[in-house]
Structure 1
Amino acid sequence: MIKVENLTKKYAGQTAIRDLNFEVGQGEIMGFLASIAGFDVFEQSLQARAHLGYMPENVPLYNDMRVSEYLNYRAALKSIPHRRVSERVGDVKELCGLREVENKLIRALSKGFRQRVGLADVLLHEPDLLILDEPTIGLDPNQIRQVRELIKNLGRQHTILLSTHILPEVEMTCSRVIIINKGRIEACDTPENLLGRIRTAGGVTLEARVGADDAPTQLKKIAGVRDVSESEDDGWKILSLRVESGTDVRPEVFRLARDRNWEVRELTARRATLEDVFVEITHSDHV
């Protein structure tokens, strides 16, 4: 569906990406263009665009139009045959859950519904490939879940290239992930395989009152602790430990807290996430 070969791009003399090579198969949701559906984007740009649907982070909509009116207008701009406009508009409204707001002015819609209108727009001409830029940015938790499920459903019929900095979204939505560091692809695999390859098993979170102690330095002395980050919540230190795979450091952390007379509120373990994968890959020469 998409094949990228030796792609390099520079901005203001800085190389943003260098010699990228990857492929995205039909029906995949890829978290991160050369050839689209067999058309060259330079020589046959119009034909290529007919197979492409793009939704930017901030969807440009006409606030003074009603949802149905806007989608009919967009269908005309996309040269959808007149006899099929009503069918296509109806289909995308149903797919994107817009029936309840189809007669509302776009200016009156919530951010979540505006995102749905944007998705409905890019689906009107039945593109093979969808490129979605930060589709859940600015949404509340319920809206995020709804848009995430919509994207996963769309992935059954479309190839999706998803660009986002929200790593949990990638983990819960994408079937394959590309990680780029300093302009080069460092990893390309399923979220499950990436999680299985890293040395970091996840982490441990300690919430404690530590007095004047330099808690991160003390915790880093424990075998298996790779890094410690620190924050504060109403006088309590929140210490997040990244640990080696196969290592349970909680007994040693508890022993340290006892010996240093720290008042412990909570000590919990968490599983590895794509954030751990990203940090390890971009801060190491090895996966």
Structure 2
Amino acid sequence: MSLEIINLTKKFGPQTALNNINLQIGKNEIIGLLGPNGAGKSTLMKSITGVLAIEEGEIRFNGLDISANEIESKRTIGFLPENNPLYPEMYIKEYLSFVADLHKIPKQRIDEVIELVGLTPEKSKKIAQLSKGYKQRVGLAQAILHSPDLLILDEPTNGLDPNQIIEIRNVIREIGREKTVILSTHIMQEVEALCSRVILIHNGNIIQDSPVDEFKGKYNSLEEAFASYTSEPAATSVPVSAE
């Protein structure tokens, strides 16, 4: 499995959201995708998943151009967006059955995923009856139901209490043993707990791409490193290549 992003540029009118992005991500990595608000993280994730059209550059996944092979590529990518769009009046198993039908996968997979993400105690409830933590688990369940090679998670623990955060992190860590995960988060402890590599975007440019320890470098914490890297203009920063 490999994800290649080649000279990807995305503009919204006069604003450049992504500026000539080049990345290569291999198998079984948990990547921390960092950046200030408005840096281009969501645009990058939506471009990879096919939510946004690619106008300049190319994204290849498992050797296929995702623009030319849109359906086939989406079969191998799972996505949990930040707002976690769900159907609140549907029961959990009803919703996951709907998702299974979309992907044309066997219904027995539903029970496996419910167990994996820890939904078993709540599986007979409507989504509207769930706490935010359990709703996040439903979102994770739909994202992994079709056994994607690449899982993209946008702020998966946002707004959760400490116990829920630990539980969701454990699920992500378990998934990362077999899949590649791109995790967008503002929580530096989450990066240290889960990620082996950090990709930092600022003003639409990649300004760091390195192992977590290398990203932290001389600073006392990841928060200090993040603040330092993003306080400088992106054009003067030098990317660090990750092997």
Q: CA deviation at 1:185?
A: 1.4
2:107 paired residue among 85, 92, 111: 85
Aligned partner of 1:101 in structure 2 is 122
Query: 1:14-163, aligned counterparts within 5 Å?
Result: 14-32=15-33, 33=48, 34-80=59-105, 84-86=106-108, 88-163=109-184
Instruction: Report how many residues are paired.
Output: 210
Q: Specify the structure having the higher radius of gyration (Cα).
A: 1
Aligned partner of 1:221 in structure 2 is none
Flag structure 1 segments of 5+ consecutive residues without an equivalent. 201-271
Greater RCO structure (CA 8 Å; 6+ sep) = 2
**Contact 2:207–2:237 (8 Å) recurs in 1:** no
The one-letter code of the counterpart of 1:63 is: P
Higher share of residues assigned strand: 1
Identity of aligned residues (%): 44
**Contact 1:37–1:51 (8 Å) recurs in 2:** no
Flag structure 2 segments of 5+ consecutive residues without an equivalent. 34-47, 49-58, 239-243
The one-letter code of the counterpart of 2:222 is: L
Distance 2:87 2:28 in 1: 31
Q: CA deviation at 1:282?
A: 2.1
Q: CA deviation at 1:286?
A: 6.1
Distance 2:136 2:237 in 1: 38
Distance 1:14 1:286 in 2: 20
Q: CA deviation at 1:2?
A: 0.9
Distance 2:32 2:146 in 1: 23
Indicate yes or no: 2:210 matched with 1:278.
no
Secondary structure (helix, strand or coil) at the match of 1:26 reads coil
1:79-99: per-residue Cα shift (whole Å, max 9, x none)? 11xxx212x101101100111
The one-letter code of the counterpart of 1:26 is: K
Aligned partner of 1:11 in structure 2 is 12
1:118-158: per-residue Cα shift (whole Å, max 9, x none)? 11111111110111111011111110111111111111111
1:183-208: per-residue Cα shift (whole Å, max 9, x none)? 2211111111212x23x3xxxxxxxx
Distance 1:14 1:73 in 2: 38
Q: CA deviation at 1:181?
A: 2.1
Distance 2:210 2:62 in 1: 22
Distance 2:3 2:191 in 1: 19
1:168 paired residue among 171, 185, 189: 189
Distance 1:7 1:168 in 2: 29
Distance 1:41 1:76 in 2: 22
